[in-house]
């Protein structure tokens, strides 16, 4: 039986419709795959080693004006917990006649550091405990220089404020005749490392204040017996961004204190609280 013209037209229209639909579907790109979930933060282990023209701690010389070799390791867990260790040569314990054969400072520390949730993600906090260890033989009547501190810091990008509180005698200090303990000594400081765009250069600044418990000042900053002091430093650093020397940091700074020199002059006559400049080179792995 021959199909009617109407039927033939309908069939032709249907065929064209199906062909057009197939062509459109063939040209329509497949839907984009769902984005992969962000990778979970990884644990990190870093190391650092540096050569310094001298070792300065809170404005006070630790190596009698001589060079220092320093280095350490840091482990950070994705949760924000971290532990680390660091060491440097020193001479101050021997220079002040406190220890025999004491040439090492060995530090151990651990804590928790985390950024605040958005929209305050540029702010961070850091809580922990820090131990300063000094192997060696103490001279008779000298107190142990080993010191433990709690610390808490609050920061924003490249600037932070940190408060440290001594749980033990402050590096063995007994600053008055009654030999009262100096646990409870505190140190507060503000530090900044301001990056100059993407150049690798940065401006470094710091100011801190030490308040030694039972030093005779009783909170009066004008008291002549005050062992505490204010220290500061200003300088610059440059970190190599690429190439063979990537992550090598070069820097220099000038530092000083308002400490009373009679408390900080060693047996050689060196005022370890004096103003002076420091240069260094450091590598992070």
Residue 7 lies in a domain: no
Q: What phi and psi, each to the nearest 5 degrees, are found at residue 97?
A: 75, 25
Q: Measured between alpha carbons, how far is 233 from 241 in angstroms, rounded to an integer?
A: 25
Show the beta-strand stretches assigned E in 212-275. Answer: 229-239, 248-257
Residue 26 has a pLDDT of 39
Instruction: Name which of 183, 167, 187, 127 is nearest 151 in CA terms.
Output: 127
Q: Measured between alpha carbons, how far is 170 from 165 in angstroms, rounded to an integer?
A: 9
Q: What is the mean pLDDT of residues 269-281?
A: 97
Residue 178 has a pLDDT of 55
Residue 8 lies in a domain: no
Whole domain around residue 113: which residue ranges? 44-284
- 282's tokens: 């450091």
Residue 237 lies in a domain: yes
Look at the block and give the residue holding tokens 């406190």.
98
Q: What mean pLDDT is reported for the chain?
A: 86
Residue 195 has a pLDDT of 96
Q: What is the CATH number of the domain that holds 254?
A: 2.40.160.40
Residues facing residue 63 across a β-bridge? none
pLDDT classification of 172: cutoffs 50, 70, 90? confident
Number of domain units in the chain: 1
147-171: pLDDT as tens digits: 999 999 999 999 999 999 999 999 9
Q: What is the mean pLDDT of residues 82-89?
A: 98
182-192: pLDDT as tens digits: 999 999 999 99
Residue 24 lies in a domain: no
Residue 122 lies in a domain: yes
pLDDT classification of 28: cutoffs 50, 70, 90? very low
Is the pLDDT confidence value at 211 over 90?
yes
Q: Could you give the maximum distance between any two Cα atoms of the chain, in Å?
A: 128
Q: What is the pTM of this model?
A: 0.82
Residues 6+ positions from 212 with CB-CB distance below 8 Å: 170, 173, 175, 182, 185, 226, 227, 228
Residues facing residue 27 across a β-bridge? none
93-138: pLDDT as tens digits: 999 999 998 999 999 999 999 999 999 999 999 999 999 999 999 9
Residue 14 lies in a domain: no
């Amino acid at each position: 039986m021959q199909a009617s013209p109407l039927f033939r037209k309908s069939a032709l229209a249907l065929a064209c419709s199906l062909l057009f639909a197939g062509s459109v579907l063939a040209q329509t790109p497949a839907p984009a795959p769902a984005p992969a979930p962000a990778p979970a933060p990884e644990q990190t282990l870093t190391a650092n080693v540096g050569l310094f023209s001298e070792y300065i701690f809170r404005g006070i010389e630790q190596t009698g004006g001589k060079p220092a070799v320093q280095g350490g390791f840091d482990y950070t867990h994705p949760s924000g917990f971290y532990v680390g260790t660091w060491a440097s040569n020193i001479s101050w314990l021997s220079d002040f006649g406190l220890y025999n054969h004491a040439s090492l400072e060995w530090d151990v520390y651990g804590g928790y550091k985390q950024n605040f949730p958005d929209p305050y993600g540029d702010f961070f906090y850091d809580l922990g405990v820090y131990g300063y260890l000094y192997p060696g033989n103490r001279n008779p009547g000298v107190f142990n220089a080993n010191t433990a501190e709690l610390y808490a810091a609050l920061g924003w990008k490249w600037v932070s404020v940190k408060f440290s509180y001594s749980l033990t005698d402050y590096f063995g200090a007994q600053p008055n005749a009654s030999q009262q303990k100096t646990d409870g000594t505190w140190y507060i400081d503000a530090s900044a490392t301001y990056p100059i765009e993407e150049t690798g250069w940065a401006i470094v600044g710091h100011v801190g204040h030490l308040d030694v418990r039972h030093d005779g000042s009783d909170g009066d900053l004008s008291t002549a017996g005050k062992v505490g002091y204010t220290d500061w430093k200003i300088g610059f650093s440059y970190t190599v961004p690429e190439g063979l020397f990537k992550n090598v940091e070069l820097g220099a700074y000038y530092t000083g204190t308002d400490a009373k020199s009679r408390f900080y002059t060693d047996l050689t006559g060196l005022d370890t609280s004096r103003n002076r400049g420091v240069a260094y080179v450091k590598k992070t792995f």
